[in-house]
Amino acid sequence: MQFSGVLTALVTPFKNNVLDEEVYRAFIERQIAEGIHGLVPCGTTGESATLSHEEHERVIDICIDQARGRVPVLAGAGSNNTVEAIRLTRFAQKAGADGALLITPYYNKPTQEGLYRHFKAIADAVDLPLVPYNVPGRTGCSIAPTTLSRLARECPNIVGVKEATGDMAQGSRILEQCPDTFSVLSGDDLSALALLALGGRGVISVTSNLVPARMAAMYNAFSKGDLGEARKIHHSLFPLHEALFFESNPIPVKTALELMGIMRAEMRLPLCPMGESAKQRLEDVLRTQRLL
C-alpha cells in the first residue's frame, strides 16, 4: 500500500460532549464527494488525545464503514506507550483500515534507538501498512532521516512518513535516504507543494476539512505536470493555511466549520473556544476565500 494525494486529517464532531455520528458520517461523505484521496481519523486534528479508547475505536469504525473502500483510511493508532500503540494498531487492522498513522512517542523523549525499537515492535506485531508521524513541535522528539531509512529497509510494512516539520532540508534527507517506494507525506499545508516538488507523494491536510476539492485540485494539477496551476491554487489557499493556525489546531478549523454551518465548534478541554480577536481574523479570511 502506497499512500498518496491529499488525505484529510479529519476533525471529530461532538454534540454535548458525545461523538456526533450523524454529522461525522455526513462530513466524511462530503469529503469523498469532493474528490479527496484519503481519510485520516483519530489524528491530532481529530482530538485523539481526549478520546477514550472506546470512542477512538468507534470513530475509526464509522470512518471505515462510511468510506466503504472508496478511498483509503489511514487510522490514527499511535501512543507514547509501545504496548498501547500495538493494541490500537491491531484494532485498526481488525477494523479494516488500510494503514495506521503512528505518532512519535511524546513526553518521554526516547533516543533514536528507542524510536527504532518502538516502531519496529509495532511493525512486527501487525500485518498492516504503517506511517510514522513526525511532529516534534508537539511531541518533543524528532525521528531522524537515518532512523526512518533503517525502519523502511528493515520493516516492509513501514511504508511512509507524515513529515510535519515544514523543514525542506529534513524532507530532502528523508527522500534521499529512504527507498523510492517510501511515501513521504507532508503534514504541513503551508509547505506541501514544496515537498511534492522534492519528491513527496502527498499531504495529510488540515485545510482540506474546509476545501477538499481545492486541495485535491492542487495535487491533481501537480501530478499531471501542471505546476503553474498547482502553484496558483497553493497561493490562493495560503492565507487559509495560515489562518487555520492562528491558534492551536484544531481550534481554528472547528471554528471555521461552525461558521460555515457544517458542524458545531465543540471541543474538549484543555482546548477551548477561539479568542474573539483571532476568530474575527479567521472570519475575515473565510470571507475572502468565499467560504461564508
Annotated catalytic residue within 162, 219, 254, 279: 162
Catalytic (active site) residue 162: yes
Question: Residue 101: left (phi > 0), alpha (psi -120 to 50), or beta?
Answer: beta
C-alpha distance across the termini of the chain, in Å: 38
Residues 78, 88 contacting (CB under 8 angstroms): yes
Rounded to whole angstroms, the Cα distance separating 160 from 151 reads 10
Which three cell numbers, joined as nine digits, stand for 75? 487510522
Rounded to whole angstroms, the Cα distance separating 212 from 192 reads 14
Q: In what order do the strands lie in the sheet with 99-103?
A: 38-40, 5-9, 202-205, 183-186, 160-163, 130-134, 99-103, 74-76
Residues 122, 86 contacting (CB under 8 angstroms): yes
Q: Report the SS3 class of residue 10.
A: coil
Annotated catalytic residue within 116, 133, 254, 279: 133
| Residue tagged 528523508 (cell numbers) | 174
Residues labelled catalytic: 133, 162
